Amino acid sequence: MTAGLVSLTVLSTGCASVNAPPKTRPQTSAPNGGSFLTARDQPKLQACYADAKLRDPSLSVHTVALFFARDGRFVFVDVELPETPALARCLSNEILGSPYQGPVTQGSGVVASGGLRIDLGPPLTDAERQPRPTLAEMRARHRRVTLAALQQGVLRESDPILRELRNPPPPWPTLEMRVELDACHEDALKSQPGLEVHRDVIYLTRGGKVLLADVSIPEAPELQRCVLERIRQWPSPFFEPSAGTVLSGFFIDLGGPEQLPEKPAILSAELERRSALALRALELRMIAADDPVLQRFKSNGATPGHAARPGEASGAH
């Protein structure tokens, strides 16, 4: 049985957030990347499952719990198991009673949100496995859970996550920006017909400008170079003077309809990647050593002593 992190935590601070996209999709799964639950919490979830198996010996559960956390503890957990509501309640209650251990430092009053992968019982066969939820379904669930948390009083209207839900910012990248990336893809098709890419891009922004960006497209290096060059010329979506340095991200879909990246993300690798981008900015003197975006990684030991530089993630304005 495992209960691992599914999505990188989003810190809803309103400024200098580690991962606060203006408009984004839920992150892909990272069941092997770590967990918010300590080893002593795992038997509690297993006990919930064992009790449910008394009524259904063939029960196998594979789902994602969405959560909100504040001040070092889970404040809201949503486990979606419509066929076994008692098990869903048991799992939610046990997670709520566990200390929250996020991958980056969480300031006082800051809301963190994300997901926990829960796998209980034998793995599903290909025939039993349910189709992955669509992006529209994932967004709808996130909205539903956010409003439910607000209704219960664990979220506040003043929380940035609520402000963005009530008044969503304009889409970013804009249509014009995505046309630029499509042009990069058109050029790549000349030497690689049929190339289709679905990747997540991370970028560092400050003072209304994109400082650095990183995306991995090893099968098409020239496309990767072109995409990064375009992104580094864009204005930042975070215009408020108080925003400070923001490390955020978005997805690109080139050559095919919108979908999640092909492979699940691994939490440790994604943290390393973000840490490397922040360290690169420090090396280029784009940010100071005491910048909050860098300090969050250092406080949790996520910043390695000699982080590898992001591929092609260079360039300043």
Domain count, the chain: 2
Q: What's the confidence (pLDDT) of residue 139? A: 85
Q: Which domain holds residue 132?
A: 2-166
Mean pLDDT over 110-129 rounds to 83
**Contact between 113 and 68 (Cβ < 8 Å):** yes
* Residues 50-79: tens digit of each pLDDT: 999 999 999 999 888 999 998 888 999 999
317 belongs to a structural domain: no
Mean pLDDT score across all residues of the chain: 79
**Contact between 249 and 228 (Cβ < 8 Å):** no
Tokens describing residue 12: 């809803």
Q: What sign does the CA torsion over 253, 256, 259, 264 have?
A: negative
Given a cut of 50, whether residue 274 has pLDDT beyond it is yes
Same domain for 9 and 158, yes or no, is: yes
**Contact between 274 and 206 (Cβ < 8 Å):** no
Chosen domain end from 145, 166, 187 = 166
280 belongs to a structural domain: yes
Same domain for 156 and 276, yes or no, is: no
Q: What's the confidence (pLDDT) of residue 212? A: 96
DSSP assignment, residue 250?
Answer: E
Q: How confident is the model at residue 314 (pLDDT cuts 50, 70, 90)?
A: very low
Same domain for 222 and 276, yes or no, is: yes
Chosen domain end from 137, 166, 195 = 166
Q: What is the Cα–Cα distance from 131 to 259, expressed in whole angstroms?
A: 13
Q: How confident is the model at residue 28 (pLDDT cuts 50, 70, 90)?
A: very low
Same domain for 108 and 255, yes or no, is: no
- Residue owning tokens 């009053």: 109
**Contact between 180 and 283 (Cβ < 8 Å):** no
312 belongs to a structural domain: no
Q: What's the confidence (pLDDT) of residue 104? A: 54
196 belongs to a structural domain: yes
Given a cut of 50, whether residue 26 has pLDDT beyond it is no
* CB-based burial label for 8 (10 Å; 0-12, 13-18, 19+): buried
Dihedral angle at the C-alpha atoms of 38, 266, 215, 198, nearest 10 degrees? -120
